[in-house]
Amino acid sequence: MCGIVGYVGKQKASAILLEGLKRLEYRGYDSAGLAVEHDHAFEVVKKVGRVNNLVAETAHHRLAGTTGISHTRWATHGGVTDANAHPHVSSDGKFALVHNGVIENYSGMKKFLLGQGYKFLSETDTEALVNLIAYHYKKEVDRPDSSRFLESVRKTLRHVEGTYGIVVLCTEHPNELVAARKGSPLILGIGDGEFLLASDVSAIISRTQNVVYLKDGEIVDVTPKNFTITTLDQADVAPVIDRVTWTLEDAEMGTFAHFMEKEIFEQPLALENGMRGRFSEDQSTANFGGLNLTPADFRLIDRIYFCACGTAWHACLVAEHLIERFARVPVEVDYASEFRYRNVPLRPNSLFFVISQSGETIDTLAALREAKRKGHVTAAICNVVGSTIARESDGGIYQHAGPEIGVASTKAFTSQILIASMFALYVARMRDMSFSDGVQYVQALKQAPDLVRKVLEQAPHIKEIAKRYAHHHDFLFLGRLSLFPIALEGALKLKEISYIHAEGYPAAEMKHGPIALISENCPTVFFAPKGEIFQKVVSSIQEIKARRGKTIVITTEGSEFPAGLTDEIITIPDCHEAVLPIVAAVPVQLLSYYIAVELGRDVDKPRNLAKSVTVE
Ligand code: AGP
């Protein structure tokens, strides 16, 4: 939510900031802005709408400085206006600031500052922060010049309730940036004679792969030559420099029309990367280096809780199915946003798992912290390396799916299911699953990339179906067992990128209410794979047909349906239960994608959304 880029070095800052903002635009796209310091003054440019609007506007400005900050906004406090766009400048003109997060006590601050004569031009919480820095700076007049800027920011942050990732500029301290984080991600990129600050790696990957992941409560003071990290309590922090493993190409669209399309087609590779090096030598189970739990620990665990939001929550539901089915360990799944306030009585000997692509989702992080506070062993499935959730959990499994830029999650989802399925195998093999069943399971997992490739070959067929159905205003998605969560995911994908109303239900629940929606105007996407309840699903399809509903049926090879029952058929390869939800997810991703394209939607940046939800 909101993207930040800061630069200090020898190059013209504005070009680097704009390039970074374009790469961060998926974090928020209500407005964008930048401030560059030159000759002890700021040049500030802000524009409502996409980064391209800002780029056009900057053409009319000199923007000569080599130090600057920039921001792409997902609005929280205050409407989408130029005035509310970041950066915000203190009313004495000395400080400019970009902010990702929410300052909860901003109204008290604002009242105080208004009393002190500070002026406010926007409706944002951020403006209170930048003016409070100016207030403290004025008060710190006796402090040595070298530390006055940094200490004013530090003092200000001690008063803040809420979350922030900030980068601050000061006219009296040219070529210096002060940045800090609490609850919103911020990384420092160490370049060649330059430093960058950004909300995530994609913004700076073209300039450096060496990064420091800042932690909550840390402040970094950066000049073109050096940086120092300290805490709010002024303790020194020894920086840990990590090397990012992916490259610029991974974060670019290449020949695809959208990131979402690219990421759908990258799924075979993401699955291969998620499995690489993670099977035992005898090929009968999975291995996870980072879980930090011994087999003895696992034998004691008698319940697993899973928490997440959105698509990752759907992955948790699949995890529940697979773990209970194969490992026979009871699993409970909760929305992280509900869990954090519900005071759930967690049982002893429970493992608390969270799933998050970004590793920054605030509700998921809060749920993790709550479980930790209660003394539970925690683990996380995350895609973004070095993210807060990955760092704060006791153990974890990285997805290695590569950067996911499209706001609608696709490859991260199937990769989360893959990891969950491998985890189910891992636990199952420590319990009752036999060696030969384990070998079979591993073989099935290894086939997943090729099975997904086969589904992807059907993209043209699915595109044709999408064209025929794009004009409908309501859809139902129905599935059973491990495909019920895929029905939920199909409905979510369609809603978020097409703005078409869609609902996911367990197929047999349809009779208990949703069947009232059925008419020729509300098509149903049915998951009907071969298996023990195939006939039951066929009966549900018949009930839809009896009410003149149109049916798009996703089934496995070799299934037969009574004549006239299916309006459209998408066939996926017959496969092991361990990978069925992965394979079945792909057609609904493609269907949603092509419907959104047909409707001319902004697929990668759907309205009102942002990729990573770092505010409540
Ligand atoms: C997925 O398409 C959505 N954009 C959203 O539901 C997302 O999955 C959710 O916000 C959780 O994000 P996370 O995996 O980064 O925690």
The atom of ligand 1 lying closest to the CA of 308 is: 16
Residues 226 and 323 in one domain: no
Domain check: are 83 and 111 in the same one? yes
Residue among 187, 209, 225 at smallest CA distance from 66: 225
Q: Which of 409, 414, 497, 609 to mutate to test the pocket of ligand 1 (most atoms within 8 A of CB)?
A: 409
Asked if residue 322 belongs to a domain, the reply is: yes
Supply the residue whose CA is at minimum distance from atom 8 of ligand 1.
Answer: 311
Of 216, 250, 284, the one marking the end of a domain is 250
User: 554 lies in a domain?
Assistant: yes
Ligand 1 centroid from CA 401, angstroms: 15
Return the residue whose CA atom lies nearest to atom 2 of ligand 1: 408
Give the Cα separation of 247 and 254 in Å (integer). Answer: 13
Distance CA 205, CA 246 (A): 8
Q: What is the CATH number of the domain that holds 116?
A: 3.60.20.10
For residue 613, is it within any domain?
A: no
Is residue 453 domain-resident?
A: yes
Number of domains observed in the structure of the chain: 2
Q: Which residue's alpha carbon is nearest to atom 6 within ligand 1?
A: 310
Of residues 182, 211, 184, the one with CA closest to residue 197: 211
Integer angstrom CA distances of residue 201 from 247, 248, 353? 10, 10, 25
Rounded distance from Cα 262 to ligand 1 centre (Å): 18
Q: From the alpha carbon of 364, which atom of ligand 1 is closest?
A: 16
8 A C-beta contact, residue 373 and residue 331: no
- From 306, 357, 499, 609, the mutation candidate for ligand 1 (largest count of ligand atoms within 8 A of CB) is 357
Q: Which residues of the chain have pLDDT under 50?
A: none
**Does residue 263 share a domain with residue 244?**
no
Rounded CA-CA distance 316/215 in Å is 27
Of 250, 284, 316, the residue that ends a domain is 250
Ligand 1 centroid to residue 490 C-alpha, Å? 14
Do residues 370 and 339 make contact, with C-beta atoms less than 8 angstroms apart?
A: yes
SS3 labels along 38-61: ECCEEEEEEEECCHHHHHHHHCCC
**Strand pairing of 227-231 and 242-243?**
unpaired
> Chain-wide mean pLDDT for the chain?
93
For residue 361, give both structure tokens: 């989702």
Instruction: Give the domain-ending residue among 199, 231, 250.
Output: 250
Residue 354 Cα to ligand 1 midpoint, Å, equals 12
Which ligand 1 atom sits closest to the C-alpha of 613? 10
The answer to whether position 179 is within a domain reads yes
Name the residue of 29, 385, 613 whose CB sits within 8 Å of the most ligand 1 atoms, as the mutation to test its pocket.
Answer: 613
* Cα of 437 from ligand 1 centre, angstroms: 33
Compute the distance between CA of residue 593 and CA of residue 518 in angstroms, rounded to an integer.
23
CATH code of the domain in which 485 resides:
3.40.50.10490
Tell whether 292 and 243 lie within a shared domain: no
Q: Which of 545, 550, 605, 611 does the annotation list as catalytic?
A: 611
Shared-domain flag, residues 215 and 110:
yes
Residue of minimum CA distance from atom 10 in ligand 1: 310
Residue 208: count other Cβ atoms within 10 Å of its Cβ. 18
Q: How far, in Å, CA of 103 to CA of 124, rounded?
A: 9
Q: Which atom of ligand 1 is nearest to the CA of 407?
A: 4
611 catalytic, yes or no?
yes
- 187 within a domain of the structure (yes/no): yes
Which residues surround ligand 1 with Cβ inside 6 Å? 309-312, 356-358, 361, 364, 407-409, 496, 612-613
Do both 177 and 266 map to the same domain?
no
Residue 309 is a catalytic residue: no
Q: What is the DSSP letter of 402?
A: -
180 has which bridge partners?
Answer: 166, 219
153 C-alpha to center of ligand 1: Å? 32
Q: pLDDT, tens digit, for every residue of 102-154?
A: 999 999 999 999 999 999 999 898 999 999 999 999 998 888 888 999 999 99
Interatomic CA distance for residues 181 and 491, integer angstroms: 35
DSSP structure class, residue 11: S
Clarify whether residues 293 and 203 are in a common domain: no
586 SS3 class: helix
Side chain identity, residue 550: K
The answer for 509, left when phi > 0, alpha when psi is -120 to 50, beta otherwise, is alpha
Domain span at residue 551? 259-598
**Helix spans in 407-513 (H):** 411-430, 435-456, 459-469, 484-498
Sheet hosting strand 524-528, strand order edge to edge: 501-506, 474-479, 524-528, 551-556, 568-572
Residue 612 located in a structural domain: no
Whether 200 and 285 map to the same domain: the answer is no
Residues 36, 92, single domain; the answer is yes
CA 607 / ligand 1 centre spacing (Å): 15
329: CA distance to ligand 1 center in Å?
26
Shared domain for 491 and 368, answered yes or no, is yes
Is residue 506 assigned to a domain? Answer: yes
In this prediction, residue 117 carries a pLDDT of 94
The answer to whether 581 and 417 have CB atoms below 8 angstroms apart is yes
Nearest CA to ligand 1 atom 5: 310
Same domain, yes or no: 53 and 180:
yes
Pocket test for ligand 1, best of 317, 612, 614, 615 (most atoms within 8 A of CB): 612
What is the atom index within ligand 1 of the atom nearest the CA of 492? 2
Distance 357 CA to ligand 1 centre (A): 7
Largest Cα separation within the chain, whole Å, is: 87
Q: How far apart are CA 406 and CA 256, in angstroms?
A: 12
- Pick the atom of ligand 1 nearest to 408's CA: 2
How far is C-alpha 358 from the geometric centre of its chain's CA atoms? 4
Q: Are residues 203 and 290 in the same domain?
A: no
Catalytic residue, chosen from 2, 309, 522, 575, is 2
